Homo-oligomer: A and B are copies of this chain.
Amino acid sequence: MSKIFVDACLGKDTPYTPVWMMRQAGRYLPQYMAVRSEVGSFLNLCHNPAKAAEVTLQPLDIVGVDAAILFSDILVVPNEMGMELSFIKGEGPKFSHPISTLEDLEGLLGGEEAATRLTYVYETIAILRQQLDARGDNKALIGFTGSPWTLATYMIEGEGTKTYNICKKMLYAQPDLLHKILRKVTDVVKLYMEKQIEAGVDVVQIFDSWAAAIEPSRYDEFSWQYMVEIAHYLKAKYPHIPIIMFPKGVAAFIERGLVYGDFDVFGVDWGTPMALAKEKLGDRYVLQGNMEPCRLYSQEATTQCVEALQTIMGGKRHIFNLGHGILPDVPLENAIHFVNECHRVSGK
């Protein structure tokens, strides 16, 4: 039996419009917090396949979404390339030795050597594949990665940043070094995604969370082309596996007609009006999104947006989602309301 979420990604007609939420296995869920407190740190949870699988599946039954997304973190990739990573409470991720030179980069593991070390991710997927098949409800499993640019920003800055001034100084003053970093990360990510597919995911999403840090005229050169390269690599080997691209904050890049590439779904962030995305991309890609996550603070604002999205998309070539991750302080009942409303307006 085909999965409604996979069918929707491939642009096939579905009985209703599927929905999931970015960061749906997250802190707004009391059941997630319970598992977190058992295992200790966030990274411990990423490294524990049984527990990571458990939290991955929680939103399926609790919230009612149509797809589960692998519980993991984008930064496991640079971590397994050899960069020491910690998550500091209230501050977020931190690499103890950021990359600033070619020597730093050459000291990292690349390609197969790095991708092989991400065993806990593939084990998590294998468990999930088995459990999802056993459920028999045909909910899909989404694998994911950060884009090379987004991963590189953390590798170069060492932590989250408001200005991206270190990596953007490199972008303008040492573009060759930045391209070498992006090349090495891209080569790892290709294999990482391939191994996620081999382990059993149904769909993959590439998150370019920091896309908006690059001016539109340089976005292709420093990010999009690498994402497209990964997509083409996977499409050549696994044409049946849908690929979702999610570059956050690129309304101008879309508007200027700069989006290209062989993939299936374009994830629309909440800063890009869905009508604009539909005009520019709707004939070439299925569109995913794009409710502003803060609307989840109000059931009324949620319903209003879900209905507006349904009016724009008409239930065709669309997947409901937020336009960014759900925030930790959203009431669980409001998340459930969102999912129910998406199903209601699209005829489930």
Q: Which residues of A contact B (CB under 8 A)?
A: 160, 162-165, 168-169, 171-173, 212, 215-217, 249, 251-252, 255-256, 270-273, 275-276, 292, 294-295, 297-298, 301, 308, 323, 327, 329
Contacts and interface: CB of A to CB of B under 8 A. Distances in A.
A169 B252 CA distance: 27
Contacts of A327: 163, 165
Nearest to A274: B217
A273 B252 contact: yes
A287 to B, nearest CB: 15
A271 B255 CA distance: 12
A272 B270 CA distance: 16
Nearest to A294: B168
Contact of A172 (B160, B172, B275, B301): B301
A330 B212 CA distance: 21
30 contacts: A160-B162, A162-B162, A165-B294, A165-B329, A168-B294, A168-B297, A169-B294, A171-B294, A172-B294, A172-B297, A172-B298, A172-B301, A173-B298, A212-B249, A212-B271, A215-B270, A215-B271, A215-B292, A215-B323, A216-B271, A217-B273, A251-B251, A251-B252, A252-B252, A252-B255, A252-B271, A252-B273, A255-B255, A256-B273, A256-B275
Contacts of A164: 294
A169 B107 CA distance: 45
A256 B276 contact: yes
A292 to B, nearest CB: 4
Given A165-B294, A217-B308, A256-B275, 11 more contacts: A168-B294, A172-B294, A172-B298, A172-B301, A173-B297, A215-B271, A216-B273, A251-B251, A252-B271, A252-B272, A255-B276
Contacts of A168: 292, 294, 297
A252 B270 contact: no
A251 B273 CA distance: 11
A171 B256 CA distance: 31
Nearest to A277: B252
